[in-house]
Amino acid sequence: MYRYNDFDTAFLAERNAQFRQQVERRIDGSLTEEEFRPLRLMNGLYLQLHAYMLRVAIPYGTLNSGQMRQLALIAEKFDKGYGHFTTRQNIQYNWPKLPDVPDILDALGEVQLHAIQTSGNTIRNVTADHFAGAAADEIADPRPVAELIRQWSTDHPEFQFLPRKFKFAVTGSPNDRAVTRAHDIGVRMVRNAAGEPGYEILVGGGLGRTPMIGKVIRDFLPPEDLLPYLEAIVSVYNVLGRRDNKYKARIKITVHENGLDTYRERVEARFAEIKPLFSGVDQQMLREIEDHFAAPAFRNAPTDAYDAARDANPAFRAWSDTNLAEHKANGYAIVTVSLKKHGDTPGDATAEQMRVLADLGEKYSHDELRISHEQNAILPHVHKSDLPAVYAALREAGLATANVGLISDIIACPGMDYCALATARSIPVAQEIAQRFDDLKLEHDIGPLKLKISGCINACGHHHVGHIGILGLDRAGVENYQITLGGDGTETAEIGSRTGPGFAYDEITDAIERIVLAYLDLRESPEETFLMAYRRVGADPFKAALYPEDKGKSRAA
């Protein structure tokens, strides 16, 4: 992983010192809250419903064990003993006290982490495939490119006051696990007809109030052109993006209103202007960054212990069937640690659980961990002979839930329990749905199903690209939950379609159960997933199950 140099260390120390002074001025009254707001947002500090919230960047989801232990220490010392992992591969602390925030930032700096640009109208934390550097299907590790983008975008003087927040996602695999098509810019590693590596560039994706799938602005971009081309895209957006209406300020609206062809023409013209200014230093930087991401020294050892454990222990077999993914190295596996134990808050981890993850990463995963946009933790490099020991440790820590990719592996934003923007609760809905299907003992029979919940129209829970999506709204002071079906966040991305009128808080779990039972009746075989069945039969059979005639006629939209 990337290690800070002297410049990085000095830069971060100076930023933290500046913010410490700003906090002191806020506390002594020299700054009003209105004056303090833009300063705190530049450093990832929000004011939520009940307290401040600090959002910490985990660059492209990559951590080492020392960093994870420091996150645990911060949770214990400055918060309520836990942290919340988010869909942007960040961790949020929901209860820090303002006087403590500078100390938290200094503690983060000790392990080369920070909260810069995790908020505000600037380029946010760059996210990537959570299996990066380990996946058997990747063309190349995308993290060096993500790190290059991170260094270029951090405190970039032209892009600190964009029309709206701006998000990048990078993947090195044809199987998109980074939701690149739902980002302002998606970068996908590809090969052209001659087998040469390059990038497909997507622009104008995003969820929220007006969900859109990103469009291909360049189907093949040579590696040496990447950074100037990305700068051209963002600088054109900085000029054309609307500042008169924040709901129409995202690049997706800019591309839509101007048309992709016109936007592309502007980008290509800007690219021609600035490309000569990139003298090759960016490529030199990339080569230096790539040296930080050398593959671990994988060992060659028998896997008999793994095979024996699968034969002897049905619980271990169930966990390995759902929570393991294929690794590029022979004899290894990628372990996804579910942070979605039935009935718990999706994405939350206690300080003690973080320490368990750190210990396992250090002992069994070449000192590497990842955080996924799906709010789970990853041990990316585990030899199969070590999997029984890893499973035993996870089980003791309450982290061995065998549900990755199943209906209880729910993405959920904090909702109205924490967020000042939320219009409905997300966490208790996710907890109740997960518990319902655990009680029914159906989720393994259901198979792969992505359920995502957002507590407001901003769609932080990615509900638009859920196979089943739930959006919580306020209807005259009452929580109302709309359902969408058929969404997809992969390389075949689609925005889900709304089924019809919403449901009350005490009706939504029953409604989801009706949809799922309808799927089990409709599928042609256990191999036909929910999304496959939906695409085959369409929405009507699901709507018929969702809105029985004796209820549907009386529902208010």
**DSSP per-residue string spanning 511-526:** HHHHHHHHHHHH-SST
What contacts 254, CB < 8 A, 6 or more positions away? 163, 204, 237, 240, 241, 242, 263
Cβ atoms of 130 and 61 within 8 Å: the answer is yes
Triad 535, 540, 545: Cα angle to 5°: 110
Q: List the alpha helices (DSSP H) in 351-459.
A: 351-364, 387-396, 427-440, 443-446
Q: Quote the pLDDT of residue 487.
A: 98
Triad 410, 415, 420: Cα angle to 5°: 155
pTM of the model: 0.96
Report the distance separating Cα 557 and Cα 551, nearest Å.
Answer: 13
Average pLDDT per consecutive 10 residues, the chain (557 residues; last block may be shorter): 96 98 98 96 94 97 98 98 97 98 98 97 98 97 98 96 97 98 98 96 97 98 97 98 96 98 98 95 96 96 97 97 98 98 97 98 98 98 98 98 98 95 97 98 97 97 98 96 98 97 97 98 98 98 88 45
Q: Quote the pLDDT of residue 551.
A: 52
Query: φ, ψ for residue 393 (rounded to 5)?
Result: -70, -40
What contacts 51, CB < 8 A, 6 or more positions away? 94, 95, 96, 97
Q: Quote the pLDDT of residue 445.
A: 97
Say which residue the tokens 């970039």 belong to.
156
Cβ atoms of 434 and 427 within 8 Å: the answer is no
The structure tokens listed for 537 are 């039969």
On the CB side of 435, CA atoms within 13 Å amount to 9
What separation, in Å, do the N-terminal and C-terminal C-alpha atoms of the chain show? 50
What contacts 233, CB < 8 A, 6 or more positions away? 185, 201, 203, 217, 267
Say which residue the tokens 């996870």 belong to.
394
Cβ atoms of 128 and 177 within 8 Å: the answer is no
3-state secondary structure of 411: strand
Q: Quote the pLDDT of residue 554.
A: 43
3-state secondary structure of 384: helix
Cβ atoms of 146 and 128 within 8 Å: the answer is yes
Q: Quote the pLDDT of residue 549.
A: 66
3-state helix, strand, coil in the chain (%, to 5): 45, 20, 40
Report the distance separating Cα 226 and Cα 186, nearest Å.
Answer: 12
Measuring CA to CA, how many Å separate 469 from each of 268, 353, 490, 512? 37, 29, 15, 10
